[in-house]
A and B are shown apart, each in its own frame.
Chain A
Amino acid sequence: MIGKTLFDKLWDSHLVRENEDGTSLLYIDRHLIHEVTSPQAFEGMRLANRSLWRTEANVAVPDHNIPTKDREKGIEDPISKLQVDTLDANCDSFKIKEFKMSNPNQGIVHVIGPEQGLTLPGMTIVCGDSHTSTHGALGALAFGIGTSEVEHVLSTQCLIQQKTKNMLIKVNGELKQGITAKDLILYIIGKIGTAGGTGYAIEFGGDAIKSLSMEGRMTVCNMTIEAGARAGLIAVDQKTLDYVKDKPFSPKGALWTEACEYWETLQSDENAVFDKIIEFNADKINPMVTWGTSPELVTDVENEIPFSSNDKFQLALNYMGLEMGMPIKNILLDKIFIGSCTNSRIEDLREAAKIVDGKKVSDSIKLAMVVPGSGPVKLQAEQEGLDKIFINAGFEWRDPGCSMCLAMNADRLEAGERCASTSNRNFEGRQGQGGRTHLVSPAMAAAAAIKGYFVNVTNADWGN
C-alpha cells in the first residue's frame, strides 16, 4: 500500500465528501477570528439569515488595530476603534469566545492559538489571515482564507476545497551556532522564490527542522506563505507533545492520553510519495537579510546586493534606495522592530535580549521597539527580567499586537525610513508608506539596533 504524507492524513481525516467536480468538502475544527477580515462575514451571515454552525469552534482576538502603548486610553483612531468594537459586538452576540483588548491573554492570533492550547495537532485550522500557516508547526493543517470563506466556515463548519499537491522540504544536517529558524526560512524562500510553493502544502523535515524548538518551527511555518504555499507542516514529535501539554485549553487526564496516541501517528509514512522534494544543507546557512521588496530578495549578511539585469531587482532597489554591489553591512538603519507573528515569542525575545544585554542602542537609531506577541509572552519576559534589559539598552517595551509588521495601528515607518524588522513582509509600504523594510532574525535586529547597521551576530566580536 502506498504510504500517506502528513498532509494526506490530515486531509483524509477531515473529508466530509468528495464531489464529482474534483472539489472536496473539508471539515474545519478550529476557526480563529480577528477584527480586520471578519466584520463583512458576520454581516453576510446576518443578511442571509444564517446561524453560526458550532460556536465553540470559534475563537476571536483583536490584534491588527490594537495600540501597543497607553492602552488604558483606548483606541484613538475612530475607524480602528469601530472595527474592534464591531468584533466585540459580533462575538458577544454570537457568544464566541474572545480575548478582548483588556484581557491579559490578548495577543497576536497566531501566537495565542498555540499558547492557549486552542491549536492542537491533527486539527484543521483556518483564519482570515495568510499567516495561519504558523499553526502547521504543531502538525495541524492550517491555512489562511478570505472573508467569503470566513463566512462559509461560520455558517457551515466546512470549506469547499481542492486538494493541493505535496511538497517536502528537507533540511539536512545542523544549523551553525547562532543561526535561527528565521535565517533558515529566509534562506529557503531565497532559493525557491515567493511563488516556489504555489499550489502545494509544504512539509518541512530533516534533522535541522527536528532540532528546532516549537517557537522556531512556528517561525518556519509562519513564512511558508511567503514561499507561496498556503500551508506549512511539521510532523508531531515529543517536542510537540511537551509543548501542548498543560496549556489552558489542551486536553487533560484520560483525554490527553487518548489524544497523544493519535497525535503520535501524525508523521508522513516512510513510503509516502511527495509530488516534489527539495533538499538543503543546514550548514550552508548564514544570518540572512532581505534587501528588496519581496522576501525572496534576500542574501547572507556577509554578501553584497547581487548584480542582475532582471527588472524586478532594479525596481526593488529604486524603492529601497540601494544599489547593486553594496555590502549588506553598509546599510544604515533608522528603526528597529522586534515583534510580529513570525518572531514575538518568548524564545525570540530571549535571543534578542542576549544580544543587547549591557549594551546601548546606537544614537543613530530613532526608535527601537519590542512588541511581545501576547500578554503571557510579555509577562514571562518580565519575570525573566528581559524587559529591563531592553529598556536599559534604550528599547521601548510595548504591549502585544501586530503593530509595525503592517502598521495598521499608530506604529509605522515614515517615508524613506529604513527598518530592521523581525516580521515577514518587506513589501513596498508594508510598514508605512515609503518605508523600507529589511527582514532579519531577532538576534540580527537586536545587533543592528546596537550598531546602527547590520553586523554578523555569529562573529564573536560583532560588538567591537
Chain B
Amino acid sequence: MDKFQTFTGIVAPLDRANIDTDAIIPKQFLKSIHRTGFGPYLFDEWRYLDHGEPGQDCSDRPLNQDFVLNQERYRNASILLTRENFGCGSSREHAPWALLDFGIKTIIAESFADIFYNNCFKNGILPIALPSEKVESLIEKTKLNIGFSLKVELDKQILIDSNETVIPFDIESFRKDALLNGLDEIGLTLSRVEEIKSFEIDHLKKYPWIFKS
C-alpha cells in the first residue's frame, strides 16, 4: 500500500445519509476477480441513466447530469463529503476499490459503517468523521465556491481550506500510522509467527474439537 501523502483536493458534496455499498458499487460489478477497474462504475445507478454491465465502455453512456460527480466542477474531486452512516450494508471491499480507482483519497462524513471504515484503511483511503455542524458548513462552502478544496494533512490531523481555516479531526493512532507508513498489515502479523504458533498449540489443547473438522 502506498504511503498516505499530504494533498489538496476538490471536495464533492454527496448530501445524503445512509449511503450503502450497493449504491457505491452495484452487485453486477462484483463478479470481477480483480482489484482494479471499478472506477468507471462507481455509483453506477446514480451516475448513468442506463443499466451498466461489467466490462462495458462507459465513455458513451448517458450521464445523469444531476448527479454530483457528473457536474463539471466536481469531476476531478478527490475528497467526498457526505452525511451519516456512509458505507453501510455489504462488506464488499469493491466499494473502497471503486472510490480509489475514481480518484477519491479522503471521505469526510458525519459517521461511517464499521466494515467500510475498516476497509478504507486497507486501501490507503482516509475516512474522516466530523460533527454534523462541521459537515453542514463544509457542504455550504462547496456549493457556494466553485473549486472549493481542502488540504488534508494527516500527520497533523487537520484539514485546511484556501482561507487558511483549520479543521482538526480525530483518528486512532494505529490507523494513522498504518496510512502514513503504508503498512503491510499481513507482514506485521507474520512477524509474530512464533507467538501465533504457541497460542495455537495452547488453543488446541483447550478446545481440541475446533481442529477436528
Contact = CB atoms under 8 A, between A and B. Distances in A.
Contacts of B112: 198
Given A40-B33, A123-B210, A145-B91, A156 B196 contact: yes
A60 to B, nearest CB: 13
B209 A21 contact: no
B155 interface: no
A55 to B, nearest CB: 11
Interface string A138-169: 00000011111101100111101010100000
A406 B30 CA distance: 11
Interface in B183-213: 185-186, 188-190, 192, 195-196, 199-200, 203, 206-213
Given A23-B174, A144-B115, A428-B23, A195 B89 contact: no
Contact of B32 (A16, A21, A79, A146): A79
Contacts of B172: 21-22, 162
A69 B89 CA distance: 28
Interface string B10-37: 0000001110101100111011111100
Contact of A433 (B45, B206, B210): B45
Interface stretch (A99-107, A176-184, A254-262, A335-343): A254-262
A454 B111 CA distance: 35
A25 B192 contact: yes
B103 interface: no
A427 interface: yes
B208 A255 contact: yes
Interface stretch (A80-88, A202-210, A366-374): A80-88
A22 B18 contact: no
B46 to A, nearest CB: 8
A340 to B, nearest CB: 13
B149 interface: no
Contacts of A54: 200
Contacts of A65: 31
Given A16-B196, A408-B28, A259 B209 contact: yes
B88 A195 contact: yes
B72 to A, nearest CB: 24
A147 B93 contact: yes
A432 B126 CA distance: 31
Contacts of B51: 433
B33 A82 contact: yes
A433 B44 CA distance: 10
A182 to B, nearest CB: 18
B192 A146 contact: no
A249 B213 CA distance: 6
Given A16-B196, A156-B196, A312 B174 contact: no
B173 interface: yes
B84 A160 contact: no
A300 to B, nearest CB: 22
A128 B55 contact: no
A158 B189 contact: yes
Nearest to A297: B18
B198 to A, nearest CB: 9
Contacts of B27: 406-408, 430
Contacts of B115: 130, 144-146, 225, 230
B186 A408 contact: no
A21 B174 contact: yes
A290 to B, nearest CB: 13
Interface in B113-129: 113-115, 118-119, 122-123
B54 interface: yes
Nearest to B199: A16
B211 to A, nearest CB: 7
A173 interface: no
Given A144-B91, A228-B88, A156 B186 contact: yes
Nearest to A230: B114
B36 to A, nearest CB: 10
Given A21-B174, A160-B185, A427-B22, A195 B207 contact: no
B162 to A, nearest CB: 29
A194 B33 contact: no
B20 A152 contact: no
A2 interface: no
Contacts of A251: 209, 212
A248 to B, nearest CB: 9
Please list the 3 inter-chain residue pairs (A to B) with the smallest Cβ-Cβ separation, ordered nearest first.
Answer: A148-B122, A146-B93, A251-B209
20 contacts: A16-B195, A17-B192, A36-B92, A37-B92, A37-B93, A39-B33, A40-B33, A43-B33, A117-B213, A145-B115, A145-B118, A147-B93, A152-B185, A162-B172, A195-B18, A230-B114, A425-B90, A427-B23, A428-B45, A433-B26
Given A146-B115, A155-B186, 18 more contacts: A13-B206, A25-B192, A27-B203, A48-B186, A79-B54, A144-B115, A152-B185, A152-B189, A155-B189, A157-B196, A194-B18, A194-B85, A195-B18, A225-B89, A225-B115, A259-B207, A408-B27, A408-B30
